[in-house]
Chains A and B, each alone.
Chain A
Amino acid sequence: MKRIIEIERRAAPGDAPYIQSFIYETEDESATVATALSEINARVPLLDAGGEAAEPIRWESSCLQKKCGACAMVIDGRPALACDTRLSERGEVVRLSPLKKFPVVADLIVDRSKMMEALMTLRVWIEEDGRSHEKINEDVYEAARCIQCGCCLEVCPNFKSGGSFYGMAGMSPMARILSQTKGGALDERRKLYNKYIFEGCGKSLACRNICPAGLDIDRLLARSNAVSLWKRLMRR
C-alpha cells in the first residue's frame, strides 16, 4: 500500500506552520501512522515527497499499543492515537497535525502540562485510606484506565487550555477519587468537581466516542454526578 503522509510542521513554538509530505510504502497491512513516522525518521537521507532534504519529524511515542497516550495527534481532522490508526483504513493522503488545544512544542509534539495541572487543582489523590471493595472496583478500574492523552479535550466545545473547565481528562481520574474518598476530604472534592467539571460541562457528549481507551464516559459521569449532586440536594 502507498500513502502520502502530509504533516503540519513547525520547528519551534512561535514558528509559522508549513506542510510537508512524505511518501510511505509498505507491504504490512497492519502498519499504523506510528509505524510510518518511525520508518520515515529512520531513512538515510531523509527526503520529503518532493525529494528535498527534511529534518526528522518530531513526535512522541512509548508503548505502541494504545496504552500510554503519548502519540495522540490530529489524524485526518480527528484526534486519535498514531499507534492505533491503521494506514490500510485511511485514504491515499493521511493528514497529521498536532492537537490544537495545547501549545505546540514542535511538529506533532504539544505541551499537555495544563491537563495534568488540572489534576492538581482537583486534588486528585487519596487523602487517607482508599476504599477498595469488589463492589466499587469495577468503577474504580474504569476511571483509573484514563491514559491522559487529551483526545477528549480536542473535541470538547467547552474546554480551553488554561480555562476553568477541565473536561473528561479531569473527570475520569477524579471519578476514582470520588468513589474512594469519605468524610471531609470527599466534601472538598465534591465542591471542586462541581466547580471545575459539572458546571462547565454542556453534556453534549461529543467526547464520548473519541476516547481511544474506550472509557465508559456515560457511566463515570453518571456516577460522579450522582455523588456530587447528592451533596447539593442535601444542602438545600
Chain B
Amino acid sequence: MKAMVNIIGAGLAGLSAAVTLAKAGIGCRLFSRQSSERAQSVMAEGGINAALDTMGEGDTTAEHFSDTMKGGVYLADPNAVRGLTEGAPDIVREFVRLGVPFQMKGETLVLRNFGGQKKKRTAYAKSSTGKMLMSALIDECRKYEARGLVMRFPHHDFLSLVTEGGAVTGCAIGDTFTGDRLVFSGPVILSAGGPAGLFSGHTTGTTQNTGDAAATAFFHGVRFANLEFIQYHPTTVGISGKRMLISEAARGEGGRLFIERNGRPWYFMEEKYPELKNLMPRDVVSREIYAVCRDPECGGQAYLDMTHLSDDTWRGKLSDLREECIHFLGIDPAAEHLPVEPGIHYFMGGIWVDERHRTNIKNLLAAGECACQYHGANRLGGNSLLGAVYGGKTAAETLSREILSAPGYMEGFEHAPAGEPTVLSGNERDPAFERRLTDILMEGLGIVRSEEGMRLCIERIEALLKEDGMSDRMKARASLGLAMAKSAIMRRESRGSHFRRDCPERDDENYKKTSTAECIDGRVITGYLDIPPLRETV
C-alpha cells in the first residue's frame, strides 16, 4: 500500500493540514466519522482573531501575543503563541482569498471585540464564522482532491495506531458503513477534536466528538497535557440533549449581564470590572455568574440583556443568533432578557505537542482542539479557530519538511505495518456506562472545585475501573477521565479555568508548569514539565 500521510479528523485542523500538505505536493488520506460538513467546526459562531488593525486602533501582533499569554495565565508555550499570533493575519487574508464572506466595509475587514482583548481583533461572518470558514476550506480541499492529492474517507472511525519499535507506522480504521477494518501505513496527524463525549449532554459541542480517539491514543501511551483546564463558557442555555451557546459576540456587540438584587437589576460585571466589563476572559465571567447566582441577595438566575441593541446590529451581525434563540428557546432576545448559565465549551488540555506539533511518539502529530497548544489555562474567544487552522498547517509543515528533506522517508512506511494493530476490545458505544462516567466527572470537575470533590471523583473512577465486564474501550475512557481528575487535584492553586475553593490563589513558584499525564501499563501517571522560555528573535 502506498504510504501517505494519514489525517484523522476533518474539521478545520484536519482540512488545514490536508490543504497544506497538498500544496507541498504531498498526498494524504483524510479520515472522519462523518463528512466535514458535520464537524464541530461548522458550529463556531463568533469569529477568528488576527491583529489586522483595520479599525484604526493601532493593534499589533505583539498585543495579540500578550493578550493570549495573559488570558492563558502564562501556561502556554510562548514560542508557539508568537508563531500563532504572527501567523494570524496571513491566515485571515488567505480566507479572504478563498472567498469567506467576512463582515466588510467595501473591501476592508470589519473586526469586532471579543473577551479578554481590549482591541477589535476578531474577523467574523455574522454569527456563522465557523460554517463560512469550513465551506471555504472544504471547497479548497476539493480542489486538491480532484488532483488526487487528498483522498477523503468520510465515514471512517479511528480504531488505533499501528506502532513498531515505539514509532507510529500507520493506523487502523473502521468503515462505519461496511464494518470493514482497514490498515494504512504512513505518519499520522490526529485532529479529532475535543473529548466532548466525556461530558455528553453538558457541552456546547457535537455528539460525534465522543472522545474515543483521544482515549484510544491515551491508552496507547500518547502523552497528554493540561487536562485539568476545561473551559466553561459563561453564556449557554440548556436545550434538549445539550447546551446551546450564546456566542460571546452577543456581549462583543453590547450585550450586558445582570442579575436581580433586592428587586433591581445589578450589572455585576460592569461594576466589578470597569475596564473590560462584560468582556472579561471567560473563566472570570463564568465564576462571577456562578457566585452571584449563589448570593442570597440575588435572584438565582443571571440574564443577558440585548434588548438595547440596534436593528442594524441584529440584522447585520447577529441575525442567526436571534433566529436560533427564537427557534430553540422561544425567546426573542431583541425584546426579552435571556436566562444564561455557564456550560462546558472547550478543552484547553489534550495531546501534548511541541511547538512544531510533534507528540511524544515518533511520526505522530496532533493539532486542533484534540491537542494542547496555544491556550494555556484559558482560551480567548476567537483563538481556537485560529489555533485549529494554524496548528493543522504547522503540523503539516513539520511533516513536509521532514518528508522533503529526507529522501526515502515515505517509502520507509511502504512495507505493510508490522503485526496486527491493537484495536481496543468493545468498540461499540455503551451509553449507560458513558452516562455514569460523565456524572462522576461533572461532579468533580465543575467551575469551582475542591479537594474532597476531586478526591471522590478519583475514587469513583478507580472503583469503576475495577468493575467486572469493563472492555478496553471503557477502560480507556475511564483512564482519560481519571487523568483529568488527577491533573486537577495535583494542581494546588487556582489559575485560569481551574479554580479551587481550598486554594484560591495563583502559585507561580510551584505551578507555572505544564501538567502531563500518561497511561503506562494501564496506570495513570501524572507529572509536570517546565514551560520553555521565549526565544530571542533574530
Contacts and interface: CB of A to CB of B under 8 A. Distances in A.
**Is the pairing of A and B real?**
yes
A145 B128 contact: yes
Contacts of B106: 133-134
Contacts of A70: 34, 38, 208
Interface in B274-327: 324, 327
A169 B47 CA distance: 26
B131 A130 contact: no
Contacts of A127: 143
A21 interface: no
Contacts of A136: 101
B154 interface: yes
Given A42-B435, A134-B104, A31 B240 contact: yes
Contact of B105 (A38, A69, A134): A134
A120 interface: yes
B146 A123 contact: yes
Contact of B241 (A64, A111, A126): A64
A62 B135 contact: no
Nearest to B204: A65
Interface stretch (A173-181, A201-209, A218-226): A173-181
B43 A137 contact: no
Interface string A114-131: 001001100111110111
Given A65-B324, A145-B131, A148-B37, A30 B97 contact: no
Nearest to A137: B101
A227 B130 CA distance: 28
A124 to B, nearest CB: 6
A105 B178 CA distance: 8
Contact of B139 (A31, A56, A124, A145): A124
A140 interface: yes
Interface in A29-58: 30-32, 34-35, 38, 41-42, 44, 56
A100 interface: no
A66 B107 CA distance: 31
Interface residues of B, number: 51
B104 A137 contact: yes
A89 interface: no
Contact of B140 (A123, A125, A147, A148): A125
B198 to A, nearest CB: 16
B273 interface: no
B208 A113 contact: no
A139 B42 CA distance: 19
Given A30-B239, A41-B431, A134-B105, A126 B99 contact: yes
B42 A144 contact: no
B55 interface: no
A121 to B, nearest CB: 10
Contacts of A18: none
A68 interface: yes
Contacts of B328: 30, 65
Contact count band on A: 35 or more
Contact of A132 (B100, B128, B208, B432): B100
Given A105-B177, A120-B146, A173-B135, A132 B431 contact: no
A61 B201 CA distance: 13
A31 B239 CA distance: 8
B145 interface: yes
Given A69-B38, A134-B104, A35 B145 contact: no
Given A65-B244, A132-B104, A126 B135 contact: no
B432 A42 contact: yes
Given A30-B239, A64-B207, A111-B177, A69 B37 contact: yes
B334 interface: no
A27 B329 CA distance: 16
B23 to A, nearest CB: 14
Contacts of A131: 99
A152 to B, nearest CB: 14
A15 interface: no
A68 B206 contact: yes
Contact of B101 (A123, A140, A173): A140
B199 to A, nearest CB: 14
Interface in B234-285: 239-242, 244
A129 B132 contact: no
13 contacts: A42-B432, A61-B207, A63-B206, A70-B38, A119-B139, A123-B146, A126-B98, A126-B140, A130-B100, A137-B102, A145-B131, A145-B135, A148-B37
Interface of B: 34-35, 37-40, 42-43, 96-107, 125-126, 128, 131-132, 135-136, 139-140, 142-143, 145-146, 154-155, 177, 206-208, 239-242, 244, 324, 327-328, 429, 431-432, 435
Given A30-B328, A65-B244, A65-B324, 13 more contacts: A32-B240, A62-B38, A62-B39, A62-B206, A66-B327, A68-B37, A68-B42, A70-B208, A125-B140, A133-B104, A136-B101, A137-B102, A147-B37
